[in-house]
Amino acid sequence: MSARLLVVSNRLPVVIEQSDGRWCSRPGSGGLVTALTPVLRQRGGLWIGWPGGGEEGGLDLAGMVTAAGEPAGFDFAPVKLTTDERDKFYYGFSNEIVWPLFHGLHTRCNFDPAYWKTYQAVNCKFARIIKENVDRGDFIWVHDYHLMHVAKELREVGLQQKIGFFLHIPFPPPEIFLKMPWRFDVLQALLEFDVLGFQTQNYRRNFTQCISSVMPGISVRGRGRVLTTKTPQRKVRIGVFPISIDFDEFADKAASAETTEQTLHLRQTYPGRTLMLGVDRLDYTKGIPERLKALGHAFERYPELREHMTLVQVVVPSRTAIDEYQDLKAEIEMLVSEVNGQFTVPGWIPIHYIFRNLDRTDLTAFYRAADIMSVTPLRDGMNLVAKEYCACRIENDGVLILSEFAGTAATMHRGALLVNPHDVEGMADAIYNAFLMGKKEQRTRMRGLRQGVRKYDVFWWLDMFLKASSEQDAELAAPPEEYDLMAMLPPESLAQAEPVRVPESLSCDGALE
Ligand code: GDG
C-alpha cells in the first residue's frame, strides 16, 4: 500500500514545554513513539497529536511543532487541548479509567461521568483536525486507547475513507471490560473502524468475546491473522499484529564506537559483578516494587548473590502530575533504600537507582553492559524494552527475565526465563538461575530471541497491518503460536530453582509463526 500515512495518536513524538520560563521542544518518549518514529521516517507522512501542555496564551504552537518536525523528515499537525480537556480527557478518562481497566486493575478506576463527556468531545476535536488535514487516498491510522471514538466522529462528519486502529495496550477479558459504564458505546465506536489491530491473540479473543457478550447480533468469522465481522454499516477486519522495534537501528547503535566506549566504562564501574538492568516508565503496571521485593528476597535466599550482583534500575519520569504516580515513586524509593540499607557493604551497593530519561547512547550502553535484563510488568500490551535488549546483545549473550503477563511473552517465551511477577519466591529463583546460567545456554537462548526480533521487526508489523487493511490476505503470515497462560505450560517450563537446560538442538527462535 503506497498511500500517504496519516498517523494519529494522543501524543506527538515531540513535546512542547516550558523550561526556565522559555518555551522549547524535546523528543517525546514511550513505546508508541519508539515504534512509530522509524516507520514515519521511512515512509514519510503526517502525524497528528497533542504536543503536551494546556492553554497557553500567545504561544505559536503550530509554528513550534512544524519547526520540530522538519528534522524528523515527516510532518506534524498539533491538536491543542484546554486545561480542562487535558484534565478530564487525558488525566481522567484515559489515565483513571481505560489505562487501569485495560490492564486488569479495575479497583484503580474512577468512572467519573464528566470524564466520558470530555473524552467524546476531545475525540471529536481530533476528528475535526484529521478532516482538515486528510487527502483522498491517505490511509488514516489511529493509535491507542485515548482515541477509540475517532472513527465514529469521522463517520458523523461524513468521512467514509478507510480508517485503521491499533491498540498498544491489552484488551481485557469481558468480566473486566464490562465494568465500564460506557462499554456498549466504546465497542460500537470501535466497530466504526475498518481494521482493528491487537498485539496478541489473547487480547483479540478478549475483544471478540466482549462483542459476543454485548452485541449478540454481531458474529465474528474466520481464522488466522485476520477475522472479520459485519455491522450494518461495514465489514470490520480484526487482526493480530505484535508490534516491534527497528532492530537494525538498535543493533547498529549498540555496535557504534560511542556506545562501545560507554559500555566499557560501565563494565569498569561494576568490576567482576553480574549486572542486572531494569528500564521502565514510572507506572504501576510495570511491576517495579514487586521486582525490588523479589531482589531483596533473592539476597536473603541466595547469599552468594551478595556482593556479586548489582541491579541498575532506570525509572523514566511519566505522568508525575498524578498523585498516584508520586506515591509509586515514593514507594519505589523506599524499597530501594530498604534493600540497600539491609545489604550494602563497603564497596558494594545492591541497587543503583536512576530517576530520569537517558539518552539513546546511555540506554544502549546499559543494554550492552547488562548480563541480565529484568522485564517484569504486572500487565503490558507488548513491552519494547525486552526487544531492545535482545537487539543490543550483539555478542548473543545475556539473560532475559520476562513476565508471563507482558505481550512480549506470547512470542519470546522460549528464549526468556518466564516469571510470574506476583510470585516473590519464583522471581528470586529466576534471578538466581539467570545469575548461574552458563554462556552456552545464554547464547542458545539469545540467538533465538534475536532472530525473532530481527525477522519480525517494526517494518514487518507495518507491512502486516497495511496488507490486512488492503485485504491482501494471501500475503499475511499465520498468527503467532502463543504462550498461553490459560493452557498453562507444565511447571518445568517456567523458571525453576535449578537452571533450565536447553538442548542445543532446540530452536528457541522467539518466532511468530
Ligand atoms: C506502550 C505499551 C507497548 C525507556 N526509558 C528510556 C527510554 N525508554 C523507551 C524504551 C522503549 C519505551 O521507552 C518504552 O516502551 P514499552 O513498550 O516498554 O512501554 P510503554 O511506554 O508503556 O508503551 C507497551 C508499547 O506501547 C508499544 O506498542 O509495548 O505495552 O504500554 O522504547 O526504549 N528511551 C530513552 N531513554 C530512557 O531513559 N531514550
Cα distance between residue 145 and residue 197, in whole Å: 12
User: Is 89 within 8 Å of 115 (Cβ atoms)?
Assistant: yes
Q: Which of 10, 11, 29, 366 to mutate to test the pocket of ligand 1 (most atoms within 8 A of CB)?
A: 29
Cα distance between residue 287 and residue 280, in whole Å: 9
Whether residue 500 has pLDDT greater than 80: no
Q: How far is the CA of 57 from the centre of ligand 1 (A)?
A: 32
How confident is the model at residue 322, as a pLDDT? 84
Question: Which numbered atom of ligand 1 lies nearest the CA of 357?
Answer: 38
Counting Cα atoms < 13 Å in the Cβ hemisphere of 510 gives: 30
User: Is 267 within 8 Å of 355 (Cβ atoms)?
Assistant: no
3-class DSSP state of 46: strand
Whether residue 219 has pLDDT greater than 60: yes
Query: Which member of 283, 380, 429, 509 is catalytic?
Result: 380
Parse the chain into domains and list their residue ranges: 5-82+123-243+487-506, 247-455
How confident is the model at residue 275, as a pLDDT? 98
Task: Give the β-pairing of 195-198 and 220-221.
Answer: unpaired
Give residues with Cβ within 8 angstroms of 505, minimum separation 6. none
How confident is the model at residue 353, as a pLDDT? 98
How confident is the model at residue 112, as a pLDDT? 97
Confidence class of residue 472 from pLDDT cuts 50, 70 and 90?
confident
Q: Higher pLDDT residue, 275 or 41?
A: 275
Task: Give the β-pairing of 235-240 and 226-230.
Answer: antiparallel
How confident is the model at residue 67, as a pLDDT? 74
Dihedral sign, Cα of residue 113, residue 116, residue 117, residue 119: positive
How confident is the model at residue 56, as a pLDDT? 62
- Of 434, 401, 414, residue with least CA distance to 506: 414
Q: How far is the CA of 132 from the centre of ligand 1 (A)?
A: 31
Among the ranges given (359-368, 445-454, 466-475), the one the predictor scored with the smallest mean pLDDT: 466-475
User: Is 405 within 8 Å of 377 (Cβ atoms)?
Assistant: yes
The percentage of residues in the chain with a pLDDT greater than 90, rounded to a whole number, is 74
Q: Which residues line ligand 1 (CB under 6 A)?
A: 29-32, 34-35, 168-169, 243, 279, 281, 314, 316, 357-358, 360, 363, 380-385, 388
Q: Which of 14, 316, 408 to mutate to test the pocket of ligand 1 (most atoms within 8 A of CB)?
A: 316
Q: How far is the CA of 406 from the centre of ligand 1 (A)?
A: 13
Task: Give the β-pairing of 195-198 and 235-240.
Answer: parallel
Whether residue 69 has pLDDT greater than 80: no
Q: How far is the CA of 316 from the centre of ligand 1 (A)?
A: 9
Cα distance between residue 187 and residue 231, in whole Å: 12
Question: Which numbered atom of ligand 1 lies nearest the CA of 27?
Answer: 39
Cα distance between residue 441 and residue 416, in whole Å: 11
Whether residue 176 has pLDDT greater than 90: yes
60 as an active site residue: the answer is no
Confidence class of residue 292 from pLDDT cuts 50, 70 and 90?
very high
Looking at residue 93, the DSSP 8-state letter turns out to be I
Whether residue 498 has pLDDT greater than 50: no
| Segment holding 26, helix H or strand E | strand 22-27
Average pLDDT of the residues of the chain: 90
Dihedral sign, Cα of residue 235, residue 236, residue 238, residue 241: positive
Q: What is the pLDDT of residues 12-57, one digit of tens each?
A: 998 887 777 777 778 887 889 999 999 899 889 999 999 887 666 5
Q: What is the pLDDT of residues 379-395, one digit of tens each?
A: 999 999 999 999 999 99
3-class DSSP state of 332: helix
User: Is 313 within 8 Å of 278 (Cβ atoms)?
Assistant: yes
Residue pointed to by grid coordinates 520540530: 68
Q: How far is the CA of 32 from the centre of ligand 1 (A)?
A: 7
Cα distance between residue 107 and residue 104, in whole Å: 9
Mean pLDDT within 216-235: 88
Q: Which of 94, 202, 279 to mutate to test the pocket of ligand 1 (most atoms within 8 A of CB)?
A: 279
Among the ranges given (266-275, 279-288, 373-382, 493-502), the one the predictor scored with the smallest mean pLDDT: 493-502
Q: Report the number of secondary-structure helices (H) and strands (E) in the chain.
A: 19, 17
Query: Which member of 146, 149, 168, 413 is catalytic?
Result: 168
- Most distant CA pair in the chain: distance in Å? 71
Instruction: Give me the architecture of the 247-455 domain, per CATH.
Output: 3-Layer(aba) Sandwich (3.40)
The percentage of residues in the chain with a pLDDT greater than 70, rounded to a whole number, is 91
Dihedral sign, Cα of residue 117, residue 328, residue 79, residue 192: negative
How confident is the model at residue 504, as a pLDDT? 37
How confident is the model at residue 314, as a pLDDT? 98
- Of 356, 407, 348, residue with least CA distance to 377: 407
Counting Cα atoms < 13 Å in the Cβ hemisphere of 238 gives: 28
Q: How far is the CA of 432 from the centre of ligand 1 (A)?
A: 26
Confidence class of residue 134 from pLDDT cuts 50, 70 and 90?
very high
Question: Which numbered atom of ligand 1 lies nearest the CA of 286?
Answer: 22
Among the ranges given (211-215, 221-225, 423-427, 481-485), the one the predictor scored with the smallest mean pLDDT: 481-485
463 as an active site residue: the answer is no
| Per-residue b or e along 373-398, where b marks 16 or more CB atoms closer than 10 Å to that residue's CB | bbbbbbbbbbbbbbbbbbbbbbebbb
184: how many CB neighbours lie within 10 A of its CB? 12
5-82+123-243+487-506 topology per CATH:
Rossmann fold (3.40.50)
Question: Which numbered atom of ligand 1 lies nearest the CA of 408?
Answer: 29
Give residues with Cβ within 8 angstroms of 453, minimum separation 6. 244, 245, 247, 387, 390, 391, 510
User: Is 382 within 8 Å of 199 (Cβ atoms)?
Assistant: yes
**Alpha carbon nearest to ligand 1 atom 9, residue:** 30
Q: What is the pLDDT of residues 412-463, one digit of tens each?
A: 999 999 999 999 999 999 999 999 999 999 999 999 999 999 999 999 999 9
Q: Higher pLDDT residue, 434 or 1?
A: 434
Among the ranges given (291-300, 405-414, 483-492), the one the predictor scored with the smallest mean pLDDT: 483-492
Among the ranges given (5-19, 50-64, 309-323), the one the predictor scored with the smallest mean pLDDT: 50-64
What is the 3-class SS of 397-461, one letter each residue?
CCEEEEECCECCHHHHCCCCEEECCCCHHHHHHHHHHHHHCCHHHHHHHHHHHHHHHHHCCHHHH
Cα distance between residue 81 and residue 79, in whole Å: 6
Domains 5-82+123-243+487-506 and 247-455 share a fold: yes
